[in-house]
Amino acid sequence: MAKVDTYIREQIDQFELDVKQKNTLGGLLRLCHEHLDKTDDELITRAFKLCCKSHENDVRASGEPYYLHPVEVAKIMAEEFNIDDVSVVAALLHDTVEDTSVTLDTIEELFGSTVKHIIDGLTKIMGVFENRDTKQAETFMKLLLSMAEDIRVVLIKFADRLHNMRTISHLPKQKQLNKATETMELYAPLAHRFGLFKIKNELEDLCFKVIDPNSYKFLVRKLREKREAREVFIEEFMKPIKDELKEQNFTFEIKGRSKHIYSIYRKMQMQQKPFEEIYDLFAIRIILEDPHTKEDCWRVYSVITDWYTPIPKRFRDFISVPKANGYQSLHTTVITKKGRKVEVQIRTRKMDYIAEQGLAAHWKYKEGNNSGSSELDKFVHWVRDVLEAPRPDAATEFVKDFQLNLYQDEIYVFTPHGELKTLPNGASCIDFAFEIHSEIGERSVSAKVNGKMVPLRQKLKSGDQVEIITGNKINLNPDWMNDVVTHKAKARIRQFIKQKERRIANEGRELWEKRAARGKVEISDQELTKIAKKFKFNDAQEMFYEIGSGAFDVSGLYKRVKELKSKGRIEDEQEESQKQSEETITDEYYTTARSVGDGKALLVDGELSNVKYSYANCCNPIPGDNVIGFLSRNGDVKIHRSNCKNAHHLIRTDSERIIDVSWAKNIDTQFLGAIKVVGEDRVGLVNDLTEVLSKSLQTNMKSINVSSEGGMFEGIITAYVNDLKHLEKILRKLQKVNSIKTVMRYE
């Protein structure tokens, strides 16, 4: 082995870089010297050479040399995470063991055991999110375990995905949607949970750009149009604050930033408001330089509220009570004299660094401080807590539960002894009990909140003091599943339900076996499964459960088995024949659909080469929308808008049936479009709206549903439109109707 490694070392040392590679290496080293505490140029150069040599025959989908991808990942590790030169080396080599002939032993010989362990961790979790089979829970666990052992593994994985999303336009549309969907569902929430807000925001925007490009372009244009006015407003807003802070000898930096595009879109959807009515489009951040402390943050808060009126409900103190990921800051929303709302964040430079870098910052503080970082220890504790929690049988359930706990807002509650516990928003006393200890959750019978007896199902609020009263026996209730939000509680209750179902199913099987023995009937499990399906059960276990619970008569099963046995067959030949026929038809249609247009996207024009198609009612696509096709099992193609939630589910669960779809240039048909209008109610308003549609736009209306309350009017209009441009024209015309305040496409 030593001779082999010596040979490889000599090969690397003698490897000649071309001009482009030399410039690329020089740029990487400059970044490292700028952002890292120390840089081993020789080690990074050797890793760069091995990266170039091992990938010298590989190219990316863009046609660029493959080595540029690991280099960009290494740059993200240096510039965004500022970890260390070891993580830069590991980033350069992160694909070598998986994709080339380089071995872990070679990595260890040339770069040391730490780099080897990081590469090993990355190789083990390779494809952790991509494989959506029953092993996903196990591979997801590996990811979390790798994080607990060395967080650089996960950070490199984030950097890898970030660069892949930045260059995603070179992939086919279907692969873009697949990657964007899994990134939005798993990587972005994980980045949020790890406090990597800058990375999370960019990932969300890049995904949004793929999933709903029309809405993305619209918001980018709107933000660009308002940029100059926004900068003027920020300057006017901050001038009196700046002057007073300088007068009080504060050293500070002020940043005014737009909220990221996807967060604005999400706010528009949740509030069902157009862009113009989303007022908190940006936040102003005041960062106090060292040696200012958290007490100084409160002094700055006092200065701001002397000048502007605060909104009490929008105040958040994350300094006294940090978020679970270590985030600290004061948040307040104030109103100017002209009635405009502005969000202001106040923090120290260290708090800002942790807010931007999250887990990476905690790791750095721990490395440089022998006393360690309590926040990093909390992360590791959280990971191990997830690993030790009982897991559901289905991987998809595990990941779904886990996701719910990644993105939710947090509340802060106290034990009777004053110990602080952080829970997801919406948590109940049951969640709190499981947070204390699994046994407390299992044996809980009632609870006290702020000294008063309450049901265990009661939802908690920040500041509540909670006491759990327990019994001597396990008191788990399957109905609690609807009252809990934490992964730990859901997993244990689901495990209890499964155990109970298995016990009842075993009792049902015993009843059947006794009845079969009395009647001297012999039948295999395989035959029982076929009979169960004839009774419309999914499998024999479900049938036995129904017998055990008394919902299905064992005598009825015995009678049917005897009947089929007397005929000498269990199979239903007609049913099997029909099934085979359906499979043949599906395969035939699947091949036809895939071959249309010599591999080009399908056209939605009514001539789909014998493949039937229809438009999904859940999202009502119209020409101009970004769309995808989903091939159903009977061979029909269902057309969805690419930002449709159901489409995301299909991409996640059945991606091989997704087909690229594009609109034909000339479509001689009309489509249903829904429009929401809100305004001040007045006599003749409905007549004015319908007149605009019928006379001014020659548009046929299918329906209008209106309601009026407190002088405000709200209506949903369904009209026949030609395409997206036609719908947008309708929106602009309706916006001009007197007393109408809001017009938007209704989702």
Catalytic residues, by residue number, are 98-99
DSSP state of 693: I
Strand order in the sheet with 740-745: 701-709, 712-721, 671-680, 740-745
Amino acid at site 517: A
Q: Mark residue 569 as left, alpha or beta (left: phi above 0; alpha: psi -120 to 50; beta: remaining).
A: beta
Alpha-carbon distance of 691 to 275, in angstroms, equals: 26
Alpha-carbon distance of 699 to 731, in angstroms, equals: 12
Q: Taking the CB of residue 723, how many other CB atoms lie within 10 A of it? A: 17
Say if strands 602-604 and 658-663 run parallel, antiparallel, or are unpaired.
parallel
Long-range contact set of residues 205-210: C-beta below 8 Å, sequence gap at least 24: 205/260, 205/261, 205/262, 206/165, 206/166, 206/168, 206/180, 207/165, 207/180, 207/181, 207/183, 207/262, 208/184, 208/261, 208/262, 208/265, 210/168, 210/176, 210/177, 210/179, 210/180
Alpha-carbon distance of 543 to 650, in angstroms, equals: 29
Alpha-carbon distance of 154 to 6, in angstroms, equals: 31
SS3 393: coil
DSSP state of 65: B
Query: Are 494 and 433 contacting, i.e. CB atoms less than 8 angstroms apart?
Result: no
Query: Are 93 and 55 contacting, i.e. CB atoms less than 8 angstroms apart?
Result: no
Alpha-carbon distance of 362 to 81, in angstroms, equals: 11
Q: Mark residue 408 as left, alpha or beta (left: phi above 0; alpha: psi -120 to 50; beta: remaining).
A: beta
Angle of CA points 538, 540, 543, to nearest 5°: 80
Q: List residues bridging with 174 in a β-sheet.
A: none
Alpha-carbon distance of 626 to 642, in angstroms, equals: 6
Show the tokens assigned to 76.
Answer: 């993200």
Q: Which residue from 115, 72, 73, 121 is spatially nearest to 98, judged by alpha carbons?
A: 121
Alpha-carbon distance of 31 to 72, in angstroms, equals: 11
Alpha-carbon distance of 44 to 74, in angstroms, equals: 10
Amino acid at site 18: D
Show the tokens assigned to 536.
Answer: 């419309």
Alpha-carbon distance of 636 to 633, in angstroms, equals: 7
Sign of CA dihedral 599, 604, 609, 615: positive
Note the Cα 284 to chain centre separation in Å.
26
User: What spatial distance separates the first Cα and last Cα of the chain, rounded to whole Å?
Assistant: 63
Sign of CA dihedral 137, 141, 142, 147: positive
SS3 144: helix
Q: Taking the CB of residue 588, how many other CB atoms lie within 10 A of it? A: 12
Q: Which residue from 394, 350, 371, 347 is spatially nearest to 494, judged by alpha carbons?
A: 394
Say if strands 282-288 and 341-348 run parallel, antiparallel, or are unpaired.
parallel
Show the tokens assigned to 295.
Answer: 């007490």
DSSP state of 169: G
